[in-house]
Amino acid sequence: SSRVLKRQCFQRPATRVRGALLYPDTIPFSLIPLAVLAESAELNGDEGRAVAFRRSEALLRSLDRRVQGVAELRGLPCLGEHSRRVIQDVLDNGESSEVEETKSSSRYKAMKVLTGIFGVGVKTAKRWFTEGICSLAQLETSGHTLNPAQQAGLKYYADLNQPVTRDEADAISVTVEEAVCSVLPGAQVTLAGGFRRGKTSGHDVDFLITHPDEGKEEGLVHKVTACLESRGVLLYHQTTRNTYQESPEGAGRSRSNMDRFERCFSILKLVQEQAKDQDPVQVEADQTDSGCRPWRAVRVDLVVSPISQFAFALLGWTGSKLFEREMRRWAVHEKSMSLSSHALYDNNQKRYLTASSEEEIFAHLGLEYVSPSGRNA
């Protein structure tokens, strides 16, 4: 039952998870059959199916042994009939025919290319695909008007589809910290997202920014982007202001999973190490040739949180998305609480529970603490 499933997923997280859920960065995505089916479901807009495959895939990854036969999987949660069939196929034949068919289908290939453009979601990609657009070249000659995000996405397509390495994330951290601290001394910058979970590569770099004096962080995003712009490293940005308000009926009422922090989706210019010593005139000339320019574009998210919400923001922005989802489900179903990236509301006591660390949030939820590297579900 789903109750048993939740217990098994969360009851002894520290022992079950320690070391075993480290994301296999070394395994190319295309070799993880259930991840392909999950992605394909996402690209079809089928969220329920996608989550089911993500759960199965995460469960398999969490096993600290190689599976030799499906019989070994008996009694494990999160593995539906369909996932078991796929695993059986892989064990018997070395690959799953369904996965191979999916990967070679024109729809999957086109949807991957089109949603690979920053600013293009599943809905837009679907619409273009039904119009016969399958490639970037076809999109460019289609006459469609692209919004500024999509224009930037197309312009930096190759860079943004090349994974960001840990070293690159560290270099970006230095740039962001310098900018933040120059406009607001005392502000704290924390690397969140996959890199905080110990992943060695990612699709972007996520930063959470706060200041020990509540209120000082307000409007910070604009000052930071102005600073990055003056330093010539801001290639694209879109900022949104903070729209979060505590409501007397509790947090998490809105059906949207999006949080409401002041934030900035940006694309930054990362100058490659060896290019830093070059003659600036030469560097400028090289930039006209995107193939061999001495910098690359990197997607960076800046999120600003008031210090009172910081622990919740950090938990929410560390991910993984599936881990967050399961944790929020646990909060609702097992504790009658609503967890968001802003707050934790106890529906029985009808009050917000405060926390100044992630550990306190796990404790409020009756869960053993799971360190970031154990959250790669």
CB of residue 363 to ligand DCP, shortest distance in Å: 21
Binding mask 184-203 for Mg ion (x = CB under 5 A): ---------xx-------x-
Q: Which of 159, 217, 259, 262 binds ligand DCP (CB under 6 A)?
A: 259
Cβ distance 320 to 375 under 8 Å?
yes
194 binds ligand DCP (CB under 6 A): yes
Which entry of ligand DCP, Mg ion, none binds 319, CB below 5 to 8 A by partner kind?
A: ligand DCP
- SS3 of 210-269: the string is ECCCCCCCCCHHHHHHHHHHHCCCEEEEEEECCCCCCCCCCCCCCCCCCCCCEEEEEEEE
- SS3 of 62-83: the string is HCCCCCCCHHHHCCCCCCCHHH
Q: Cα torsion for 57, 59, 61, 67, to the nearest 10°?
A: -100
252 binds ligand DCP (CB under 6 A): no
Answer yes or no: 204 catalytic: yes
203 binds ligand DCP (CB under 6 A): yes
Report residue 184 as tokens.
């607001």
202 binds ligand DCP (CB under 6 A): yes
Give the integer Cα–Cα distance in Å for 205 and 169.
Answer: 6
Q: Which of 56, 102, 320, 338 binds ligand DCP (CB under 6 A)?
A: 320
Give the integer Cα–Cα distance in Å for 339 and 341.
Answer: 7
243 binds ligand DCP (CB under 6 A): no
Residue closest to ligand DCP, measured at CB: 319
Side-chain-facing half-sphere of 21: CA atoms under 13 Å: 24
Catalytic residue among 25, 46, 286, 301: 301
CB of residue 303 to Mg ion, shortest distance in Å: 11
Q: Which of 316, 330, 361, 377 binds ligand DCP (CB under 6 A)?
A: 316
159 binds Mg ion (CB under 5 A): no
Question: At 373, which amino acid appears?
Answer: S
Give the integer Cα–Cα distance in Å for 338 and 247.
Answer: 12
DSSP class of residue 209? E
Answer yes or no: 301 catalytic: yes
Q: List contacts with ligand DCP (CB under 6 A).
A: 193-194, 199, 202-204, 206, 258-259, 316-317, 319-321, 324, 341
Q: List contacts with Mg ion (CB under 5 A).
A: 193-194, 202, 204, 206
Active-site residues: which are they?
204, 206, 301
